[in-house]
Amino acid sequence: MVKLTIDLIARCTSGYTKKKRDESVQHYLKRLTHLYLEDRGIDEIGDDDMAMCRNLTVLYLYDNRLCKVPNLNQNQNVTHLYLQNNEISRIERLSPLRRLSKLYLGGNHITVVEGLEKLDQLQELHLENQNLPPGEKLLFDPRSLLMMSTCIQVLNVSGNYLDSIRDLECLRQMTQFMASDNSLNDMKELAHLVSSWRHLWRLELMGNPLCHRPKYRDRVIVMAHKLEVLDGKEISENSRQFLMKWQASKDANKRKKERSRKAVALEHTYGLPRKQFDEVLARSASLPNSAAAAGRGLGPKAQSDMSVPKYRNTYGTTIHNYQSVPTFEPGNAHATRGLITIGKDLASGDLLAFDT
């Protein structure tokens, strides 16, 4: 067991802040700004052990055996806190550190991201590779997420068995996101998130199942227009422009196919190509009981009646190979208004449309 002592603190400083020969310990500890206590086997820090280091801004306590976050109530000037690779299981006792901007907690035993509600200056949070119980994944307390949404710019959650990052959508200030070696597999979810993170320029996702999707890298670059680094590799502007044009061409072809599909659907619905049907209505508009004059359109559930080869309307026009199609009330595909007969005039050979 190694307990933090005043003597240990005095010996763990850099050459720039060595204790002067005639300087008191109290005065020396008061002027310390950086304290290097990493890899000392420390497993206990008393509540008042750090009290005299009131001007401390950077505290290195990584690679020790701490089971909990030390009491830093008297160290409210700390901006950088390094606690990775300890045995900490809960994020707590950080509320007094209102100036904290970078927090390193990777390699501990944390299961829930919590206790950050007061840290409105926190810009970087590193939580990679927690030693989680079998079958569990890292979780986020909504209250801490709400605070993080206003300030977090860098988040590292690599190696924490995450299968979804949907809860992180609120982190709109994100510039760097590291989530390698998880279980992420949803490209649509990723696309939704990166569209919300408008300032994102670095993204690390290696070791996730989605990385094996076809054209994974190309698709991610198209999703995030401002991305500069993906999985440790820079994105050149030429590559970005090429992929953006490729995507635009792909989208245009997709829209073209969709228009063609709708045109075929219309032809099946009305029995005639839409353009030809419009021409029939236009030619028939001058007739007294024409469908065009009545202002009626064809309904989406057109039905054909080909039971007889000829039809003579009340105005003496003889129609050959006619097709009777129901019309519907506007906005109601179930309320039938009547029938429109479409066929060929025996005298002129023209296609005509009549109410019947």
pLDDT of 328 higher than 80: no
Which of 9-13, 90-94, 221-225 shows the lowest mean pLDDT across its residues?
A: 9-13
19/116 Cα distance (integer angstroms): 35
CA 197 to chain centre: 7
pLDDT of 351 higher than 80: no
155/102 Cα distance (integer angstroms): 10
Q: Per-residue pLDDT averaged across 336-340, rounded?
A: 54
Q: Per-residue pLDDT averaged across 322-343, rounded?
A: 53
272/6 Cα distance (integer angstroms): 93
Q: By the 8 A CB rule, do 228 and 234 touch?
A: yes
* Residue 148, H or E segment: helix 142-148
CA torsion, points 10, 12, 14, 20, in degrees to nearest 10? 10
**Structure-model confidence comparison of residues 327 and 168, the more confident one:** 168
Q: Per-residue pLDDT averaged across 307-327, rounded?
A: 49
**Structure-model confidence comparison of residues 138 and 329, the more confident one:** 138
Confidence class of residue 239 from pLDDT cuts 50, 70 and 90? confident
- Write down the pLDDT at residue 255: 73
Confidence class of residue 165 from pLDDT cuts 50, 70 and 90? very high
**Structure-model confidence comparison of residues 27 and 288, the more confident one:** 27
72: which 2 tokens?
């830093």
330/351 Cα distance (integer angstroms): 25
pLDDT of 321 higher than 70: no
| Mean pLDDT estimate for the chain | 81
- Write down the pLDDT at residue 266: 54
Bridge partners (DSSP) listed for residue 44 = 3
**Cα Rg, the chain, nearest whole Å:** 36
Q: Per-residue pLDDT averaged across 112-125, rounded?
A: 97
Residue whose entry in the numeric block shows the structure tokens 């400083």:
13
**pTM exceeds 0.75:** no
The CA-to-CA distance between both ends of the chain, in Å, stands at 99
Which of 147-161, 166-180, 214-228 shows the lowest mean pLDDT across its residues?
A: 214-228
- Write down the pLDDT at residue 330: 56
75/79 Cα distance (integer angstroms): 10
Q: Per-residue pLDDT averaged across 288-309, rounded?
A: 44
Q: Per-residue pLDDT averaged across 108-137, rounded?
A: 97
38/82 Cα distance (integer angstroms): 9
Segment 167-215, tens digit of pLDDT? 999 999 999 999 999 999 999 999 999 989 999 999 999 999 999 999 8
Which of 66-70, 82-86, 129-133, 315-319 shows the lowest mean pLDDT across its residues?
A: 315-319
Instruction: Mention every residue, 6+ apart, whose C-beta is less than 8 A from residue 293.
Output: 284, 285, 286, 287
- Write down the pLDDT at residue 307: 39
pLDDT of 17 higher than 80: no
